[in-house]
A and B are shown apart, each in its own frame.
Chain A
Amino acid sequence: MTAEPILSVEGFSKHFELHEQAKTIPSSSNVNFDVYAGKLTALIGPTGAGKSSVLKGIYRTYLPSSGRITYHAANGTSLNLALADEHQILELRSREIGFVTQFLHALPRQSTEDVVAQPLYQRGVSREQGRQKAREVLANLNIPERLWGVPPATFSGGEKQRVNLARGLIAKPRLLLLDEPTASLDPTTTDRVVEMIQAMKAEGTAMLAIFHHPDLVERLADNVVTLTPPVALNNKEVTS
């Protein structure tokens, strides 16, 4: 590939120091890969391999323990997300980097439309315009119209997941992180999601995704990165 990557992860590692239990839990070690505009990089590996931790490290929900995460921003500058200032991270989250997490977090009373339009409101889009756009995305994802005006708290797992996805897609981020976005969807809805991801790729969005199913990796991924569970630090002598 000749194009410059949007995101380069070099030697990323993450471990958790649990003070109370006096324990160190390794999560990801020495992870390296690139993500390109209009391409999808898939992270695969067994449970506990640290896939989610890599996404969270890039988004800074987790503080990386070591490594470099170089992000090339829309304005032409690049920065190391592992060390960037918190205000810079917040700015990127609201303008350029989206994250569809495994579970939906939303204000309890907020209607589904508003939950989905949140990223737009944060950019200063009016309620009216935001809701309009949200309805388009919700319709695209096969969410029945009767659900648009009510909070997603009581929705089924698959419905919630689509709401979460709608919120991630609506703002058209430059870089989108996806953590198992289709885990609880039926085949028809999964196909819809696949089409939407393909459309976003065609528009130039760079994606880093974890998929439940090898079939989806096959259909969507341009690059595949395999992670292996790190060896527990405490067991080092035993295993080597």
Chain B
Amino acid sequence: MEKILEVRNLSKVFGKGCPNCFEKTGPELNTNICPDCKSVVAAHDLSLDLYKGEILGIMGESGSGKSTVVKNLFFDQDPTSGHAIFYDDDKQYDLFSLNAAQKRHLRNHHFGMVYQNPHLGLNFGISSGGNIAERLLMNDLRNYKEIRERARELLERTEVLTERMDELPKNFSGGMQQRVQIAKALAINPPMLYLDEVTTGLDLSVQAKILDLILEIQQEMNTAMIVVTHDLGVVRLLAGRTIVMKYGRIIESGLTDQILEDPQHAYTQRLVASAL
């Protein structure tokens, strides 16, 4: 197995920060707000490894820092400190020291992101087909016919009616918007995909279909994924390994079935017990 992503000591502080931020926040102190300078320690000292084709779950309650992790890795935010290396066959990218053009290159050619809120992942001013075309153009596909064909293929794959590919996303249901977002993220066959609460707020049968789709994609294309969710059922179905976060820290990590059936940490034990 080959490593695709390595994250070391990632921290993200919102606010001006002070020397006490880290020692005065965290799960033992039950807060992520520094009492001295009021900064928010959204993530601190996070390290993780991801292998090709692997799905890693990040679980934790609201505000624990789950989205912060993927936003930093997808360059939506800049970390306060830490390192991350993305391995692309023989090439290595030191993610947090790249310039804007290099970051754009990785987002356009190697990474995909599906946000909980479709407004963040889709351009609501253009059609769903146009959203996919936009991403294909960024990936240097230029021929109109080819682009349209590929967009159609992707929407078919994600079970969006292709007769509706020229409609604006706002006409679609939440589940459909999520499918268009997934189709757009997948357009370039990214080896690395970030999924942030993609099924939250959808009704159960739609959730089941989307989870099924994600698993199929992972198996067909060997896509590595980080799946952020507060839903234990989602990690159980998708992730081989899971990380549990609280107040910006990793509380526990392990094989997903072990985290759910034999949690070691008091917090994880409570979390799992309350979900039963």
Contacts and interface: CB of A to CB of B under 8 A. Distances in A.
A33 interface: no
A133 B266 CA distance: 44
Interface residues of A, number: 23
B interface majority secondary structure = helix
B261 A62 contact: yes
A122 interface: yes
A87 B261 CA distance: 19
A19 interface: yes
B262 interface: yes
Interface in A46-74: 56, 60-63
B252 to A, nearest CB: 11
A128 interface: no
Interface string B170-184: 000000000000000
Contacts of A56: 261-262
Contacts of B208: 107-109
Q: Interface size bucket, B side?
A: 20 to 34
A145 interface: no
Interface in B74-116: none
A20 B269 contact: yes
Contact of A20 (B204, B258, B266): B266
Interface in B198-215: 204-205, 208-209, 211-212, 215
Interface of B: 1, 51, 54, 204-205, 208-209, 211-212, 215, 219, 236-237, 240-241, 254-255, 257-258, 261-262, 264-266, 269-270, 273
Interface of A: 16-20, 56, 60-63, 86-87, 89-91, 105, 107-110, 121-122, 124
28 contacts: A16-B262, A18-B269, A19-B265, A20-B266, A20-B270, A20-B273, A60-B258, A61-B255, A61-B258, A61-B261, A62-B261, A63-B258, A86-B241, A86-B255, A87-B1, A87-B54, A90-B54, A90-B240, A90-B241, A90-B255, A108-B204, A108-B208, A109-B205, A109-B208, A109-B209, A109-B212, A110-B212, A122-B219
